[in-house]
Amino acid sequence: MSGAEEEPAPDLTDTPTVDRIWDGLVAWMGGTFAVCGAAVAISAALGWPRRAAAELPGWDLAFLITQAVACSAFVVRSGRSLCRRYPGALAVAFAGGVPAALAVLMVVEWRDPGEPLATWGHLLAGSVRFAALEAVPVGYLLWMLALRSQSSRLTPKSS
């Protein structure tokens, strides 16, 4: 490919609509199975009755944190196409920030447990608040990165 040729715009495709719908459904089902599998694994790690984050052994907490970080990475990676516009980048930043903030709050609660111990509901509410605070700057960063990568693909490279 010569430097004068441009790559086609990512929005234009010759893939039939039915195939695109099918691919979207398969991806959605794969995501559903991944979320259900993570929920079953988390439920098995926590046991019954549910223990607070501060009462978990380090191995179980590390397992939950790994899953939260992987979930954040998956959300941000799969939401790259949404980051082309600022509202989409905000949504991706918020959705990816909730599990990451939950991981941070689990570590804080485990290291310095308060009295009384924070419940999972309090940790989740705190992670939503934290993700809402960080969504604006992170969303802006994701939007700028998407714009920069899009402009670098469209500018011809000199060889």
| DSSP three-state, residue 125 | helix
Closest CA to 58 of 105, 104, 123, 110: 110
Q: pLDDT (tens digit, 9 = 90+) per residue, 97-155?
A: 888 888 888 888 888 777 777 787 888 888 888 888 888 888 888 888 888 877 776 66
What does the pLDDT look like over 45-77, one tens digit per residue? 666 556 677 787 888 788 888 888 888 888 887
The predicted model scores a pTM of 0.60
Alpha helices in the chain (DSSP H): 17-46, 58-78, 86-111, 120-154
Structural contact between residues 143 and 79, judged by C-beta atoms closer than 8 angstroms? no
| Closest residue by Cα to residue 72 from 149, 134, 145 | 134
